[in-house]
């Protein structure tokens, strides 16, 4: 009889332990929900319709397509470091005088190893 009581007591303790663990998990979930609600309350409200961005008066902004010409690297006998370049290598490109669109050579894909016949 003592063995049967020990088994029943062990099963009862295990059941109580699972209930306690379940209650702890529920308490943690409720705490996380309350904490999230507090953080959400501190955030600024979403913008009203009159605060939304509007189109400029002159209409939508369009893409500008232009050809740019880079500044060439000056030729010298020794390798240049960035601080030796004009304007320390920060010279901006300028608008090209040519308006013609640059094209790849005929029969070439324009990339290295692109499978084209290449230049002859």
- The answer to whether the predicted template modeling score (pTM) of the entire model surpasses 0.85 is no
- Range ranked top by mean pLDDT from 16-20, 40-44, 62-66: 40-44
Residue pLDDT, tens place only, 34-43: 999 999 999 9
What is the spatial distance between Cα 73 and Cα 86, in angstroms, rounded to a whole number? 9
C-alpha to C-alpha distance for 88 and 90, rounded to whole angstroms = 6
Question: What pLDDT, in 10s, does the model give residues 2-12?
Answer: 555 566 666 77
109: pLDDT confidence band, cut at 50, 70 and 90? low
């Amino acid at each position: 009889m003592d063995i049967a009581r020990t088994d029943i007591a062990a099963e009862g303790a295990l059941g109580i332990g699972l209930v306690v663990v379940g209650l702890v998990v529920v308490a943690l979930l409720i705490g996380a929900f309350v904490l999230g609600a507090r953080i959400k309350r501190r955030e600024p409200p979403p913008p009203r319709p009159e605060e939304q961005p509007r189109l400029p008066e002159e209409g939508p902004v369009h893409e500008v397509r232009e050809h740019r010409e880079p500044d060439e690297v000056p030729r010298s006998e020794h390798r240049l470091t960035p601080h030796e370049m004009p304007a320390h290598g920060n010279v901006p490109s300028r608008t090209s005088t040519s308006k013609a669109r640059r094209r790849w050579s005929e029969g070439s894909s324009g990339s290295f190893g692109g499978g084209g016949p290449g230049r002859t």
